[in-house]
Structure 1
Amino acid sequence: MASSRDRQRKLARAKLDRQLARRAATVRRRRQIQAGVGAVLVLAVIVAGSAWALGAFDSDPKQNTAAEDTCLWTPQDATANTNLKDVGRPETKGLPTDGTRAMTVTTNQGAPITAELNLTNSPCAAASIAHLASRSFYDNTKCHEITADGALRCGDPSGTGLGGPTYSFYDEDVPTVPSASPSASPAPGQPPTYPKGTVAMISNPPGSNGSQFLIFFKDFTTTDPKYPVIGRVTGGLDVVEKIGALPTVDNGTGAKVKPKTDVVIQSLTVGEPVTAAAPSPSASGTPASSPSAG
């Protein structure tokens, strides 16, 4: 029979085992809780990182949706070129880029000349002309040249060929032509590069467009196009043809290109954009024939 001392030892041992078991269970629970909290924290960090990468914490949501510039205007120094006229610059954003705008040129040579400016292919040229027209830039200016290419050149208040606004902009819709033959002659049967009635920009040097434009009164074909197309005549083409037939005199530089009779733009206006418009010339384009206005 076990002595009372042995029984006491067994009871103490059992008590110690129970205490150790409880302590071990407590440690396991603590570790499980810590692991769960750690997993939640890791998940939260991953979610927060993904949200940050997607811009969820941007302070200004509008910053990501800001409209991009439609056109860029390069400043020109009026002190270096006194032929320039400062009437401000057009907007750079929110400009129409689809459809057409009607342009009406009233001269001292007969009925108004009307044209469609192509907003799809030449939005910046159209925006520039509309801006200048709204500032009466073209009013009471002379078309100072009848070019050898068969076009009336207008849009320079100085009448020198060097004038314009105090900004310039890049070419948009310069026609493309088939590769030139060794003789640099157009391919037989090739449509004209600039059909009669084409409205185009002209600048010196090329690519620095401002306010000057051409209205072609006859077909012109070239293997080296330089004039960006901006639209087509829709009325008054007979007036342009009549002006194109005027005698020319020396313009003061030895070039016999100035109309002997002054051709004065009394006013030039540009209408609001029209999205449902008739087809306009493309880069290789042929202006659609239109009835002449008296």
Structure 2
Amino acid sequence: MVTKVEPLKYLVMTTSKGPMTMAFYYDMAPNTVHNFVTLAAEGYYNGLNFHRIVPGFVIQGGDPRGDGTGGPGYQIDAEFNERRHDAGVLSMARSQDPDSAGSQFFVCLDYQQTRALDRKYTAFGKVVAGMDAVKAIAAVARNQENDRPTENQLIEKVEVKNVTATDNPYVGLQKELAVK
């Protein structure tokens, strides 16, 4: 039974290296998508940094402390699924506890390096436009000991948008997923 109908949502995350458009795997990780979109709508990610950069692997953000130890004050259950951690895929960061994700997320850079994350981390969406910004962040100078960028890589703002007939980033994502 349907109890609530809302417009399909996507995000535009404006970073210091440019915008990224993010579409979501509502079918595979509905609670994770809801958590991420809700935090974004509340302005949670505005002003935070990508605090961890591992070239060829991931860029990670969403930590209000900026050191990999912060979160929203709660944790969500894992929604491991069959979506691959291909380049551009959004996934939730967590500790050793599978159900310890909160607000930290990462964007995958190269499936050769991230395939080991499949079915062990919650893949919940994909950057469908703006991979040039992702790659620019991944290329910045970083501290080799802790993978932190030497200069802040800012998430300036995140806008939650409704899908419309003329503005629908899911069309390309659906085609891509159908091919796989």
1:195 equivalenced with 2:86 (yes/no): yes
Q: How far is the alpha carbon of 1:210 from its aligned partner?
A: 0.8
- Does structure 2 conserve the Cα–Cα contact (< 8 Å) formed by 1:150 and 1:216? yes
1:137 equivalenced with 2:27 (yes/no): no
**TM-score, scaled relative to structure 2:** 0.80
Q: Map Cα deviations across residues 84-106 of structure 1 (whole Å, 9 max, x no partner).
A: xxxxxxxxxx476xx95211111
Indicate the structure whose relative CO is greater, using CA pairs within 8 Å and at least 6 residues apart.
Answer: 2
1:246 equivalenced with 2:156 (yes/no): no
- Does structure 1 conserve the Cα–Cα contact (< 8 Å) formed by 2:82 and 2:118? no
For structure 2, the residue ranges without an aligned partner over 5 or more in a row are none
The equivalent of 1:72 in structure 2 is: none
Residue 107 of structure 2 is aligned with which of 215, 218, 228?
A: 215
Please show how residues 142-291 of structure 1 align to structure 2 within 5 Å.
142-147=49-54, 150-175=57-82, 193-204=84-95, 205-219=97-111, 220-222=114-116, 225-249=119-143, 255-272=145-162, 277-278=170-171, 280=173
Q: How far is the alpha carbon of 1:280 from its aligned partner?
A: 4.7
Q: How far is the alpha carbon of 1:274 from its aligned partner?
A: 6.6
The equivalent of 1:106 in structure 2 is: 14
Q: Map Cα deviations across residues 113-164 of structure 1 (whole Å, 9 max, x no partner).
A: 1110122212111211121112211111111001366111011111121211
More strand by share: 2
For structure 1, the residue ranges without an aligned partner over 5 or more in a row are 1-64, 68-93, 177-192, 289-294
Q: How far is the alpha carbon of 1:245 from its aligned partner?
A: 1.6
CA RMSD after TM alignment: 3.0
Q: Map Cα deviations across residues 237-266 of structure 1 (whole Å, 9 max, x no partner).
A: 01111211222115xxxx330012210101
Q: Map Cα deviations across residues 46-92 of structure 1 (whole Å, 9 max, x no partner).
A: xxxxxxxxxxxxxxxxxxx996xxxxxxxxxxxxxxxxxxxxxxxxx
- Does structure 2 conserve the Cα–Cα contact (< 8 Å) formed by 1:100 and 1:120? no
- Does structure 1 conserve the Cα–Cα contact (< 8 Å) formed by 2:80 and 2:120? no
Q: Distance in 2 between matches of 1:274 and 1:117?
A: 15
- Does structure 1 conserve the Cα–Cα contact (< 8 Å) formed by 2:45 and 2:155? yes
- Matched residue pairs, number? 172
Distance 1:229 1:223, change over 3 A: closer
Q: Distance in 2 between matches of 1:262 and 1:287?
A: 37
Q: Map Cα deviations across residues 223-245 of structure 1 (whole Å, 9 max, x no partner).
A: 76422111111111011112112
Fraction of identical pairs, as percent: 24
Distance 1:147 1:95, change over 3 A: farther
- Does structure 2 conserve the Cα–Cα contact (< 8 Å) formed by 1:104 and 1:114? yes
The equivalent of 1:9 in structure 2 is: none
More helix by share: 1
Q: Distance in 2 between matches of 1:106 and 1:262?
A: 14
**TM-score, scaled relative to structure 1:** 0.51
Letter of the aligned partner of 1:215 in structure 2? Answer: V
Q: How far is the alpha carbon of 1:206 from its aligned partner?
A: 2.6
Give the structure with higher Rg (CA): 1
Letter of the aligned partner of 2:9 in structure 1? Answer: R
Q: Map Cα deviations across residues 15-53 of structure 1 (whole Å, 9 max, x no partner).
A: xxxxxxxxxxxxxxxxxxxxxxxxxxxxxxxxxxxxxxx
Distance 1:148 1:206, change over 3 A: farther
